[in-house]
């Protein structure tokens, strides 16, 4: 590991092509990044032919070290183009630097990205020199020496200005957010590609899954190109596991699209805070097993919103408060929802605010007047949402999804347990409470699918349903505690931990607890023993994740007590 917590790797990767990997070994917040804390890279690329192009300069977190690296390695006044895979205001510090060093530079983006750039530079003294090329998908850019760039717009509600770039000479596909992973290391390429699978899947689930329909469209577009290397915006460059990851993206996106229950998630965002909340809610909905139609109301037509809401069994509206009001796109979306008039759909409201929150009261009030029922209490975040607020969003969305699934289950006749399900149900397990802690986030769940797996080192396996809120705190390297309950004392715990909790509600209220050495809560009154564990590996198994964990520490609390055992009649439920 580098001794410097932030540095830049500079390495040639193909003919006339260089990567600059700005690295942070400590945690940086990108998208929804509260479960994994493995640092990140922000990858930027330079093609030097007869003309020079920079692809995807990094955000302001890396501007200073990026400046030093690019000054050291390149002639700045000869930069002709800066290609932007997606626009974010936090990139402006780097973009201004490049424009100051190369006043004749031309920015290359999509039509939407061009509008963002023009707005961002409108109050800058650099605005008179701003040059922008807006690519619609058929244009090419010839840098000379065979480097002819083709552009592939890949818009999604999250990144309406999304753009991939393909170099015919090197057959490199620059994908920005697509195929990224937030993980920092010395490896430039994915030679040990299995090592990155968990991070790539986590990134997909957290960021890409709510845009599954648009991801499928992007995959269809890039299938027309012969690609030797994928150069994403974050994480390792993909050469060895490239085809495997593309295949996985197709499978994951298809799985999302085939889900029967759909939720329309409508939002607008002034400064990115409401968009971050929307991403956390979308993550919870996808974990809860429903499909998400994510719609940025600033760019959606009324018919698109109407169609999404009509096809969905529930909808959630997110809005900022600007000058004491909801923005016009949210008023329009709310009007569309009310015009449909189907108050059997489950509703939800969320948003961010600075000094007031009138937008939430307006939306909530109008929906209540129309007779809608709400799947969770309105979520209000002041300024930039904290990790706890984001976790609350995820949990609220999981509950929202489960409410819809229960309602559908009640409407449909349920078949009797099959012979196989009855036989599987005879597998028994000890009754345990699993607790996990990360920062100010503390959560717990009842578990009976636990088994010892190894003698040396002492290890166990534990199966966690994908929809469980605790799942996002149980990745490789995560700490948790396993509280093994005593016979005769477990019924109260089973009743308590199987109930629905409000987002952020204290799971341990009314129970005697202590804190283990690894920081997790342990139940000291009715547990036979507890184990302090570290997740070593995790594997996707159908509708569950199976974790293999090493036991780091443990304590026997009641030597004479018997372990509680959970008996079932069917293997189709807990």
Closest among 15, 167, 175 to 81, alpha carbons compared: 167
Indicate the pTM of the whole model. 0.86
Q: What is the pLDDT of residue 28?
A: 66
The whole-number mean pLDDT for each consecutive block of 10 residues of the chain, a chain of 574 residues, reads 72 96 79 65 96 95 93 82 93 93 94 92 86 92 97 91 96 97 92 91 89 93 96 96 96 90 93 89 92 91 92 95 89 93 93 84 93 94 88 93 90 83 91 90 90 96 91 90 92 86 84 93 92 94 94 95 91 84
> Cα(472)–Cα(88) distance, rounded to whole angstroms?
26
3-state secondary structure of 117: helix
- Phi (first) and psi of residue 172, to 5 degrees: -95, 135
The predicted structure's pLDDT at residue 2: 44
Identify the pLDDT of residue 1: 42
Following DSSP, what letter does each residue of 178-196 receive, concatenated? TT------S-SB-TTGGGG
E strand segments, 121-243:
132-134, 140-142, 148-153, 163-167, 172-176, 229-232
The count of other CB atoms within 10 Å of the CB of residue 194 is 10
Name the 3-class secondary structure at 254. Answer: helix
Nearest-10 Cα torsion for 158, 188, 243, 81: 50
* Domains present along the chain, CATH in parentheses: 6-256 (3.60.15.10), 259-411 (3.40.50.360), 419-566 (2.30.110.10)
pLDDT for position 30: 58
Phi, psi of 286 (to 5 degrees): -70, -40
Place of tokens 């600007």: 322
* Contact yes or no for 432/459 (Cβ under 8 A): no
Q: What is the pLDDT of residue 3?
A: 47
470 burial type by CB count under 10 A (0-12 exposed, 13-18 middle, 19+ buried): buried
Report how far residue 21's alpha carbon sits from residue 17's, in angstroms, rounded to the nearest whole number: 13
Using the 8-state DSSP alphabet, how is residue 62 labeled? G
How far is it, in rounded angstroms, from Cα 123 to Cα 107? 17
Phi, psi of 423 (to 5 degrees): -70, -45
Whole-number Å distance between alpha carbons of 314 and 348: 8
What is the torsional sign of CA 468, 473, 474, 480?
negative
Q: What was the pLDDT predicted at 460?
A: 97
State the Cα–Cα distance between residues 156 and 257, nearest whole angstrom. 15
3-state helix, strand, coil in the chain (%, to 5): 30, 30, 40
Conformation bin of residue 324: beta by default, left when phi > 0, alpha when psi is -120 to 50: left
């Amino acid at each position: 590991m580098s001794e410097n917590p932030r540095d830049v790797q500079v390495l040639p990767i193909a003919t006339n092509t260089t990567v600059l990997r700005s690295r942070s070994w400590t945690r940086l917040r990108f998208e929804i990044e509260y479960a994994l804390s493995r640092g990140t890279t922000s990858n930027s690329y330079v093609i030097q032919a007869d003309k020079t192009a920079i692809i995807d300069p990094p955000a302001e977190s890396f501007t200073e070290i990026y400046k030093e690296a690019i000054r050291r390695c390149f002639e700045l006044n000869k930069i002709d183009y800066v290609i932007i895979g997606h626009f974010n205001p936090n990139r402006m510090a780097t973009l201004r630097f490049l424009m100051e060093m190369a006043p004749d530079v031309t920015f290359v983006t999509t039509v939407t990205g061009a509008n963002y750039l023009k707005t961002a530079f409108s109050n800058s003294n650099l605005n008179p020199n701003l040059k922008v090329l807006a690519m619609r998908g058929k244009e090419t850019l010839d840098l000379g020496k065979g480097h002819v760039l083709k552009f592939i717009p890949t818009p999604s509600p999250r990144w309406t200005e999304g753009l991939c770039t393909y170099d015919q000479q090197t057959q490199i596909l620059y994908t920005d957010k697509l195929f990224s992973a937030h993980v920092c290391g010395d490896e430039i390429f994915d030679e040990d590609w299995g090592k990155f699978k968990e991070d790539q899947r986590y990134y997909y689930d957290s960021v890409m899954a709510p845009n599954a329909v648009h991801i499928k469209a992007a995959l269809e577009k890039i299938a027309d190109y012969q690609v030797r290397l994928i150069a994403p915006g974050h994480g390792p460059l993909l050469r060895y596991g490239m085809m495997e990851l593309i295949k996985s993206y197709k499978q994951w996106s298809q799985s999302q699209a085939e889900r029967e229950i759909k939720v329309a998630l409508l939002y607008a965002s002034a400064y990115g805070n409401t968009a971050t909340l929307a991403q956390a809610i979308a993550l919870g909905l996808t974990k809860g097993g429903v499909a998400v139609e994510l719609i940025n109301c600033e760019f959606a037509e009324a018919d698109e919103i109407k169609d999404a809401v009509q096809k969905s069994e529930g909808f959630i509206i997110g809005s900022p408060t600007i000058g004491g009001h909801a923005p016009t796109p949210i008023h329009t979306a709310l009007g569309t929802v009310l015009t449909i008039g189907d108050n059997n759909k489950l509703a939800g409201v969320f948003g961010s605010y600075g000094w007031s929150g009138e937008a939430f009261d307006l939306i909530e009030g109008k929906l209540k007047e129309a007779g809608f029922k709400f799947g969770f209490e309105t979520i209000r975040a002041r300024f930039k949402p904290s990790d706890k607020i984001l976790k609350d969003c995820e949990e609220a969305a999981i509950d929202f999804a489960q409410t819809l699934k229960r309602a559908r289950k009640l409407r449909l006749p349920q078949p009797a347990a099959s012979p196989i399900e009855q036989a599987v149900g005879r597998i028994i397990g000890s009754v345990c409470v699993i607790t996990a802690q990360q920062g100010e986030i503390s959560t717990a769940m009842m578990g009976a699918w636990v088994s010892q797996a190894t003698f040396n080192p002492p290890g166990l396996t534990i199966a966690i349903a994908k929809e469980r809120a605790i799942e996002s705190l149980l990745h490789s390297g995560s700490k948790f505690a396993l509280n093994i309950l005593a016979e005769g004392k477990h019924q109260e715990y089973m009743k308590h931990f199987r109930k629905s909790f409000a987002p952020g509600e204290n799971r341990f209220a009314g129970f005697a607890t202590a804190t283990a050495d690894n920081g997790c809560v342990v139940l000291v009154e009715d547990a036979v023993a507890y184990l302090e564990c570290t997740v070593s590996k995790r594997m996707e198994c159908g509708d569950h994740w199976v974790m293999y964990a090493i036991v780091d520490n443990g304590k026997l609390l009641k030597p004479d007590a018997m372990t509680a055992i959970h008996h079932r009649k069917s293997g189709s439920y807990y």
